[in-house]
Structure 1
Amino acid sequence: MSSSGWAVDNQAARQGAVAVRLSGVRKVYGKGSGAVAALAGVSAEFQRGTFTAVMGPSGSGKSTFLHCAAGLDRPTDGSVELDGVELTKLGERQLTRLRRDKIGFIFQAFNLLPALTVAQNIALPLRLAGRRPEKAAMAEVVRRVGLENRLGHRPAQLSGGQQQRVAIARALVTRPAVIFADEPTGALDTRTAREVLGLLRQAVSTSGQTIVMVTHDPVAASFADRVVFLADGGLVGELYQPTADAVAERMTHLGAWAVA
């Protein structure tokens, strides 16, 4: 048992190519005749240093998939392994520590604290973990997202795109094993969305970050290395080196494009 409170095979974690693995994951809500299977035995792997988009029609299980993969929700059956750690065997306190130490989150709504400055919002995960932000690391993250001249501002003084840049920096600053992004460009205009997606792409290409992103947008998905498609709680296909047109075509065949 490590000092962090969970068992880790360090050699396997260093040598393994898989950042996240879901094996036979089922998630059922409700009981008896009212039970609904949001995920129906999903198995998937996400390699280290890759950018994967998760797509599917409304009700396909995308959000449940993301929540189970990130340890925000417990599967009814099956297992989830993240950075060499089996999540389904952890207690709530251990899960909280793992999410804090090994996972970064980016959401559509930014989720910044309005009373804190940009610098304070970025450093918040480190502060919560009892770690002092390293000046060099902070400066590098801030430079990468282009916020050098905004560190003293509060979220209300920023545009939506700038707020999402703060959220990206906050996710990157802990050097997480995986970043999970849930519709990160959903509240942004087209130009700003492309800038934000470019930052995520750069984090993968230049820093070896691992990103799993739920999106409904074929253009957003085209920034990824791979797209996996969900329908009716199951994986129904994948696409490597996607283009926006190819993703849109695949979604049309899923019967989802008109409502996604």
Structure 2
Amino acid sequence: MSPSKGSDDVVRLESVRKVYGNDRNGVVALGGVTLGMRRGTFTAVMGPSGSGKSTCLHCAAGLDRPTSGSVVLDGHELTGLNERELTRLRRDRIGFIFQSFNLLPALNVVENVQLPLRLAGRKAKRADVDEVLARVGLSDRKHHRPGELSGGQQQRVAIARALITKPAVIFGDEPTGALDTRTALEVLALMRQAVREVGQTVVIVTHDPVAASHADRVVFLADGQIAGELHEPTAQAVSERMTQLGAWADVPAGTVN
């Protein structure tokens, strides 16, 4: 599973098509998407419900196999890997941040952060753990369990856990969806900081224009197709584009934040 040389894209989808069900009655979630995410950038993926944004993330991260097309991550062609190779690649080269945090309640903060390395049979260096916990502002919470932390603190642990393996890319699936506005902004600032200061690559799926405005670029999907993108986005510009896509056609004015 040696990496192949390619462009500066750490993740690239080429003509990716994903159909759920059979050819006759199947649902087309992605209809031939070509998309690249460059190293050291922050990309947000948005779109109406059913647009294919979550499927796009799952295919990019090797969590779901495309029906056809190519996915290359950190120089590795994912579509040709078996399940064992995919698992190893996800474990070693990808970090994940979920809306529900996905921390193990019986483990303390340090143990949750160390978990990906332990699952990979690698020893976590204490200095590395201390560094990522300091970066997310949890140096004084090392021995607390998730139940003793706020939602924002739990998501900070999840970010530290994603960073500890020094992944090629971090994928976030609605990473601020369960947080209040102030805490969400703090978490987004941490992800932005990781991109700016250590050259981390971050890709998130979100429905929130404010979250998307922290990204370098917002990619819009509609009906399984790329429907445009914005660079250096503002929350207002993202909201306007989403309205044009019909994402909030049934939402009363003034209720989107």
TM-score bracket, shorter-length normalisation: over 0.9
TM-score, reference length from structure 2: 0.96
Unaligned stretches of 5+ residues in structure 1: 1-5
2, 5, 8: which one aligns with 1:7: 2
Q: Deviations over 1:15-39 (max 9, x none)?
A: x411000000000001144211000
C-alpha displacement of 1:257: 2.7
204, 209, 224: which one aligns with 1:213: 204
- Partner of 1:115, secondary structure, is coil
Identity %: 71
In the other structure, the counterpart of 2:191 is 200
- Partner of 1:44, secondary structure, is strand
82, 97, 103: which one aligns with 1:106: 97
Q: Deviations over 1:112-151 (max 9, x none)?
A: 0010001000010001111111122111100000111111
In the other structure, the counterpart of 2:86 is 95
The one-letter code of the counterpart of 1:86 is E
RMSD, matched Cα: 1.1
In the other structure, the counterpart of 1:3 is none
- Partner of 2:62, secondary structure, is coil
In the other structure, the counterpart of 2:165 is 174
39, 42, 65: which one aligns with 1:48: 39
Q: Distance in 1 between matches of 2:50 and 2:228?
A: 17
Cα pair 1:102 1:177 within 8 Å, conserved: yes
Deviant stretches of 4+, over 2 Å = 257-260
**1:25 pairs with 2:20:** no
C-alpha displacement of 1:174: 0.3
Q: Distance in 1 between matches of 2:12 and 2:159?
A: 23
Q: Distance in 2 between matches of 1:109 and 1:7?
A: 34
Unaligned stretches of 5+ residues in structure 2: none
Q: Distance in 2 between matches of 1:32 and 1:151?
A: 51
Q: Deviations over 1:156-175 (max 9, x none)?
A: 11000000000000000000
In the other structure, the counterpart of 1:38 is 29
